[in-house]
Amino acid sequence: MDHDARVNGAVIARAPLRIALGGGGTDLLSHYREHGGFVLSCAIDRYVRIRVSPASGELFRLAHLEHEEVLDPADIEHPILRAAIARHGDGRPLELNSEGDVPPGTGLGSSGAYAVCAVKALGLSAARELTGGELAEAACAIEIEDAGRTVGKQDQYASTHGGVNSFTFARDGAVEVHRHDLPPQIREALSDRFLLFYTGQSRSAAHILSDQVDRTLAGDSELERNLLRTSAAARESSRAVEAGDLEAIAELMNEQWALKRERLARVAMPRIEELREVAFRGGARAAMLMGAGGGGYLLAYAPEPEPVRTALAGAGAPELTFDLDLEGCVGRLATAD
């Protein structure tokens, strides 16, 4: 890519969302710095997209869920974009447009993907490109340090790398990425028999996870036990994925939901419980809520998908079709077709 074109032309980046099959909550600093953490995650072909181009005047013009025009980037209201431009912009005014395939707060890691995508697009527009680990850590720094959000690190790594990965979070903050070479039956099942349904409710992951952090710091032994089992079950899921054992994956999905429900005992989720029952009556073998909990997308495993689709459609839960994303976050010149 020509240096001048990268600096003076528009660039487009996209970053995939993800579904997590186990280990959520163990990627928070409050847990992994004492015990380590482990997450099994799959990037999917639903995306956040960002286009960055040089501005024609002196204003920074940003289009996200709202529109902003500012002279000083420190005045940008969007916390991720404000931090990303401060860290990774080249100082020149720019125009930035972003869009996503799903609404925020729906449990598919959209906030982490947004941070990854912003860093990628801004880096390319400034003639800089980060490696995979650098890109994920840069996005983590923006969300956790700059924006002050109580979130983990799995979403940024899943969006950066794409594919199906196990992430091991060491106590010193290092992250080991293991890319799974999937057996054919798992590749087929992830495309055809794992189904996502929108519950109609959204939630703030940071708000829910803040409670977990507070309990961890207070020495809650029951929560510690729960998270250690969550991590162990995710390791079992990782082995089941590599072995192609769909029945074991289904059992472990249900266990992950039971563990999450235990952590969120104080959060009322009647709609989620209702939809899980509907899924099981339709023939699903497993169903678990994506993300921190409270709302978003329900992931179901169904050996016979059509009855489950029909049942959940009747319950007012539309399906979000998806396939795997194997590329991770990518960017290019907007004029390069």
Q: Does residue 321 surpass a pLDDT of 70? A: yes
At a CB cut-off of 8 Å and minimum separation 6, what does 276 contact?
Answer: 257, 287, 298
The mean pLDDT of 233-254, rounded to a whole number, is 96
CA-nearest of 186, 196, 197 to 163 is 186
Domain range holding 30? 3-182
Q: What is the pLDDT of residue 268?
A: 82
Model confidence at 203, pLDDT cuts 50, 70, 90, reads low
For residue 6, what pLDDT band results from cuts at 50, 70 and 90?
A: very low
105 lies in the same domain as 253: no
Residue of 196, 202, 215 lying closest to 25 (CA atoms) = 215
Beta bridge partners of 67: 63
Tally of domains in the chain: 2
Report residue 312's pLDDT band, with 50, 70 and 90 as the boundaries: very high
* Percent above pLDDT 90 for the chain: 79
Q: For position 295, what pLDDT does the model report? A: 83
Q: What are phi and psi of 28, to 5 degrees?
A: -85, 140
- Among 182, 198, 221, the domain boundary falls at 182
Query: Which of 94, 142, 99, 144 shows the shortest CA–CA distance to 119?
Result: 142
Does the residue 47 lie in any domain? yes
133 and 7 in one domain?
A: yes
pLDDT for the residue 7:
54
pLDDT in tens, 62-78: 999 999 999 999 999 99
pLDDT mean across residues, the chain: 92
The answer to whether residues 56 and 156 belong to one domain is yes
The verdict on 10 and 143 lying in the same domain is yes
